Amino acid sequence: MTATTTTTPADADAAPTPSRTSTTQPAAAARIANVSKSFGSQHVLDDISIDVAPGEFVTLLGASGCGKSTLLNLVAGLDSPTGGSIEVSGGRPALMFQEHALFPWLTAGKNIELALKLRGVPKTDRGQEAERLLELVRLKGAHGKRVHELSGGMRQRVALARALAQDSQLLLMDEPFAALDAITRDVLHEELTRIWSETRVSVLFVTHNVREAVRLAERVVLLSSRPGRIAREWKVGIPHPRRIEDADVAGLSVEITEQLRGEIRRHGQH
């Protein structure tokens, strides 16, 4: 099934609606075509076009306030673009936020089972599937643990398992590791790379951390400051496994950082 959102300035406030099912599937997991977004007189995004290929890991990078999270919300269908179109293959994407957003009155397993219920998985199968997903994120045996019993990193693993429970072809991640300490973030980078490699889900990952972007992604897309436009993109040819401290990661990070600083300086001159 293909979900398509297309708006013009005249219908910018209209809620996004799925298109009719087409026999021709798009080549991309997500196609963002000439998308702009304004909030009143504030122009946030301008003419953004990005294709995310099936199984591709793309990071969106830019200074704070450049519209990265706004773009992710548009792809998720939480808001409508002012202009342009967004097409997502395989139904509604899964979304993972910076905060875990787990229900504290439910156990880790029941948080995942709720996502399975909403997906239509029969009740008899939910427990086993939740256990499988917890094992995938290296939390075997945590099904009965309450949220307050979990560390910050464990909570984000449960949030990732819940996102994967939606069985979407596209996973949207909005700075999911930004609030974690450096060691926990490093471990979760390894885990996310492993899970992506195993599942081959397409990932669109928002960050303002250059080294995080280079460590994780196959492609890094840099947005300029407001209005957000695509300033440049890089193919990351560094083989996995990668480490933050690897020389190749550091070298490309320096190049991207210089470009990012240039965009910030240009914005400051306006």
Q: Confidence class of residue 263 from pLDDT cuts 50, 70 and 90?
A: confident
Same domain, 121 and 141: yes
Q: Across all residues in the chain, what is the average pLDDT?
A: 88
| Number of domains observed in the structure of the chain | 2
Domain boundary among 167, 200, 226: 167
Same domain, 7 and 82: yes
> Of the candidates 251, 186, 192, which has an alpha carbon nearest to the alpha carbon of residue 217?
192
Same domain, 187 and 238: yes
Same domain, 75 and 105: no
Same domain, 105 and 212: no
Distant-in-sequence, close-in-space partners of 143: CB < 8 Å, separation ≥ 6? 107, 108, 109, 127, 130, 131, 134
Same domain, 163 and 257: no
pLDDT at 99: 82
Lowest model confidence (mean pLDDT) among 15-19, 180-184, 228-232, 263-267: 15-19
pLDDT at 180: 92
Q: What CATH number is attached to the domain comprising 15?
A: 3.40.50.300
Which residue has 């909005």 as its token pair?
A: 174
Containing structural domain, residue 116: 99-167
Strands 30-39, 2-7: parallel, antiparallel or unpaired by DSSP?
unpaired
Same domain, 177 and 256: yes
Q: Confidence class of residue 10 from pLDDT cuts 50, 70 and 90?
A: very low
Domain boundary among 138, 167, 196: 167
Same domain, 257 and 197: yes
Same domain, 19 and 30: yes
Domain boundary among 145, 167, 189: 167
Cα 268 from chain centre: 28
- Could you write out the DSSP letters of every residue in 163-216? HHHT--SEEEEESTTTTS-HHHHHHHHHHHHHHHHHH--EEEEEES-HHHHHHH
pLDDT at 251: 96
Burial class from Cβ neighbours inside 10 Å (0-12, 13-18, 19+) for residue 96 reads buried
- pLDDT, tens digit (0-9, with 9 covering 90-100), for 37-96: 999 999 999 999 999 999 999 999 998 888 999 999 999 999 999 999 999 988 899 999
Q: Confidence class of residue 264 from pLDDT cuts 50, 70 and 90?
A: confident
Same domain, 54 and 43: yes
Same domain, 147 and 173: no
Q: What 3-state DSSP class applies to 7?
A: strand
Give me the percent of the chain exceeding a pLDDT of 90: 79
Same domain, 146 and 256: no
Q: What 3-state DSSP class applies to 144?
A: coil
pLDDT, mean of residues 226-254: 94
pLDDT at 132: 96
pLDDT at 163: 95
